[in-house]
Amino acid sequence: MTPTIETALFIALVGIVGIFIFMFIFFLMIKGLEKWFPYEDISKKKIDE
């Protein structure tokens, strides 16, 4: 392969890996927020009152 194609593939690989790392960190942030602030069903809460 030519150096230009190798460089282009490397840049694409770095971008794809970067997206997966970002999505994993975002997933962990969402899970952490769900743990700190658990979901409460508002409609069920109104029925109980």
Cα 34 from chain centre: 14
Segments in the chain forming alpha helices (H): 3-36, 42-48
pTM beyond 0.75, yes or no:
no
What's the pLDDT at 41?
77
Q: What is the mean pLDDT of the chain?
A: 90
Would the pLDDT of 34 be above 90?
yes
Domain boundaries, the chain: 3-48
Mean pLDDT of 36-48: 76
What is the C-alpha to C-alpha distance for residues 23 and 27, in angstroms, rounded to an integer? 6
Percent of the chain with pLDDT over 70: 88
What's the pLDDT at 40?
80
Q: What type of residue sits at position 47? A: I
